[in-house]
């Protein structure tokens, strides 16, 4: 939740945060149309896939895209117009963590001078005003959050606000999207069947080299040759998943490396800081990946 307030940083209320410019997204398959259908049919969506594969980007893109085609999901009238007249649907992203409780999602009372004041949590806001509530890495959250998720993700579509003693019916445009990474789940932190069976699951994996090269080129601005090499590096490093590395290099890291290269950092050095060292602390693994880097880049 952003609460930073400085002079030149725009502070936007959570429910008013809409994606106004088209995020760059290259589909790998039919995920866009599936998501659209899910949104219309109010089917909660589970995004599976390793980190940095583009799950968040996809949600952003969908929030923008749905706003373009959907008129019903218009939030409050005044906070909605941007320069080209485009109206997105609000996107409320919550990065889940171990200590996140139901209160963090629903809201809590704050003490004010005379008495207390209720403030809505991000989930309540999405439910109240309509919008996509995106719970990133949902398995990290405390188990009590499932109490909230369950009634919202079946036919009831209601949010029980225990502390206030009320129930809120979800707005037409509300959609619950959660993500999780099956790769590093332990038995303790797996998604329960009762939860996962409330979502349609869209599986994400790293895109094929051709697509990834395009993404890297677009996002970082490097030439297509470098982008191709970065994508190749990504592919090679991902071969080491479960063979010395926990995770393969994410597209995000490839883009970082690309940005460094574009700014004049030598490719080998850029890959070292953005990929090799970012991926692992194991000296042996670092050296191995670096050898792959030096094979690919001059």
Partner 1 sequence: MGVVFPSIPAIEQELQRFPAAVTEEFQRARQRLEPGMTTDDLLAWGSMGVSLAQQTIRSWEVAAEYYRVSSSVLDDLPMDRFLSWAQHGETLCNQSPPVALAYFRVGRDATSMLTTEQLGAWAQMGLGLYKGTWKSSIMAARFFETSPAMLQALSFAQVGRLVGLLDTVTQQSSDLALDCLSLAAETLPRVPESSEALLNLLAAVSAKSWRDTKGSLEGASKALPKVSREHRARFLSLAEKVAASDHGSVAAFMQEASQALSQIPPEAQPALLSMSEVILAKRPTLLTDFFRSGPMVLSRLRDGQAETWFVEGLKLLEENPDAGVAFFKLESSRSEELMESLSSTVELPRIKDLLRMYCRALAGTTVEIASSKDLAQKGIGWVDETEPTTEGKTVFLPPIVDRHQQKDENFEWYKVVSTHQVAHLEFESFGFLYDEPSVSFRDLRPKLTPKRRKKMGLAANQPQEAAQDGQAEQEWLTDAQKFFDLFPERRIALDIFTVLEDGRLDTRVKREYAGLRKAYGRVQQDTIALRPLEEGQAAQEMLIEFLLRLSLGQRMKLIIPAKYEAEARKMARVARRVFKMGTQVEDTAEGTLRVYAILAQIPNERVPQDEQAEYDDNAEQDSDQESEGESQEFLEQLMASQDQEPGEEQEKEQQESQEGQSPDQQPYSSPKDVDYRGSFKPELVQLLNKLREGQQPQGEQQTQQIDRTQLQEMLQNNVELEAAKGDIKSSALFANNLMREAGMSQSPNMPAMGQGPFVHTDDEGGPLEAREPNTFVYDEWDFRAGDYKPRWCLVREKVVPEGESTFWRQTIAAYGPLLGQIRRQFEMMVPESFRRMKRQPDGDDFDLDATLEAMIDKRSGVTPSDKVYWRRNKIQRDVAVALLLDMSASTAEAIDESTRGQDDWDGPNDPAEYMAWLRARRGEGARRQHKRIIDIEKESTVLLMQALSLLDDKFGIYGFSGYGRENVEFSVIKDMNEPLTETVRRRMDRITPMHATRMGPAIRHATRKLELTDAKTKVLLLLSDGRPQDRGYSREGVEKEYAVHDTKRALTEARSKAITPFCLTVDKAGHDYLKTMCQDMGYEVLADIWTLPERLPYLYRRLTV
CB 237 within 8 A of CB 245: yes
Q: Does 268 bind partner 1 (CB under 8 A)?
A: yes
Q: Does 103 bind partner 1 (CB under 8 A)?
A: yes
Q: Does 51 bind partner 1 (CB under 8 A)?
A: no
Give the Cα separation of 169 and 242 in Å (integer).
44
> 145-152 vs 122-129: helix axis angle to the nearest 10?
10
Per-residue contact flags (x/-) with partner 1 for residues 176 to 215, judged by CB under 8 A:
----------x-----------------------------
Residues near partner 1 (CB under 8 A), total: 28
Q: Does 278 bind partner 1 (CB under 8 A)?
A: no
DSSP 50-101: -TTSSHHHHHHHHHHHHHHH-STT---GGGG--TT---PPBEEEEE--TT--
Query: Where does residue 78 fall: left (phi above 0), alpha (psi -120 to 50 degrees), or beta otherwise?
Result: alpha
Which one of the spans 44-52, 63-71, 80-88, 285-293 is the region binding partner 1 (CB under 8 A)?
285-293
How far is residue 244 from each of residues 237, 285, 289, measured CA to CA in Å? 10, 6, 10
Contacting partner 1 (CB under 8 A), which of 51, 74, 101, 196? 101
Give the Cα separation of 286 and 276 in Å (integer).
6
179 vs 229, beta carbon nearer partner 1: 229
Contacting partner 1 (CB under 8 A), which of 21, 33, 266, 295? 295
Give the Cα separation of 289 and 54 in Å (integer).
23
Which one of the spans 32-40, 126-134, 166-174, 287-295 is the region binding partner 1 (CB under 8 A)?
287-295
CB 19 within 8 A of CB 60: yes
Structure tokens at 64: 């923008």
Least CB distance from residue 184 to partner 1, whole Å?
10
Report how far apart the first and last C-alpha atoms of the chain are (Å, whole number).
43
Which one of the spans 8-16, 87-95, 197-205, 230-238 is the region binding partner 1 (CB under 8 A)?
230-238
Q: Does 246 bind partner 1 (CB under 8 A)?
A: no
Q: Does 266 bind partner 1 (CB under 8 A)?
A: no
132 vs 149, beta carbon nearer partner 1: 149
Q: Does 237 bind partner 1 (CB under 8 A)?
A: yes
Site residues (vs partner 1, CB under 8 A)? 101, 103, 109, 111, 186, 229, 232, 235-237, 239-240, 243-244, 268, 284-285, 287-289, 291-298
């Amino acid at each position: 939740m952003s609460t930073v307030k400085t002079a030149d940083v725009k502070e936007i209320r959570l429910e008013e945060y809409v994606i106004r410019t088209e995020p760059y997204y290259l589909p790998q398959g039919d995920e866009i149309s599936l998501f659209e259908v899910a949104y219309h049919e109010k089917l909660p969506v589970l995004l599976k896939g390793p980190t940095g594969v583009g799950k968040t980007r996809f949600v952003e893109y969908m929030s923008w895209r749905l706003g373009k085609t959907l008129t019903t999901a218009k939030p409050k009238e005044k906070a909605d117009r941007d320069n080209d007249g485009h109206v997105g649907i609000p996107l409320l992203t919550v990065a889940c963590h171990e200590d996140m409780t139901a209160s963090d999602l629903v809201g809590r009372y704050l003490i004010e001078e005379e008495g207390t004041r209720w403030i809505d949590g991000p989930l309540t806001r999405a439910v109240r005003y309509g919008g996509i509530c995106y719970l990133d890495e949902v398995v990290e959250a405390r188990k009590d959050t499932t109490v909230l998720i369950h009634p919202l993700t079946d036919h009831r579509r209601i949010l029980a606000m225990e502390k206030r003693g009320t129930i809120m019916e979800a707005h037409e445009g509300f959609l619950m999207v959660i993500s999780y990474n099956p790769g590093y789940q332990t038995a303790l932190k797996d998604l329960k069947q009762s939860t996962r069976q409330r979502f349609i699951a869209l599986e994400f994996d790293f895109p094929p080299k051709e697509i990834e090269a395009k993404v890297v080129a677009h996002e970082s601005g490097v030439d297509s040759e470098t982008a191709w090499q970065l994508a190749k590096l990504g592919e090679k490093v991902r071969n080491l998943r479960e063979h010395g590395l926990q995770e393969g290099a994410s597209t995000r890291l490839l883009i970082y490396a690309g940005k460094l290269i574009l700014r004049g950092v030598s490719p080998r050095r850029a890959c070292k800081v953005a990929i090799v060292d970012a991926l692992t602390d194991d000296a042996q693994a670092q050296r191995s990946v670096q050898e792959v880097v030096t094979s690919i880049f001059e």
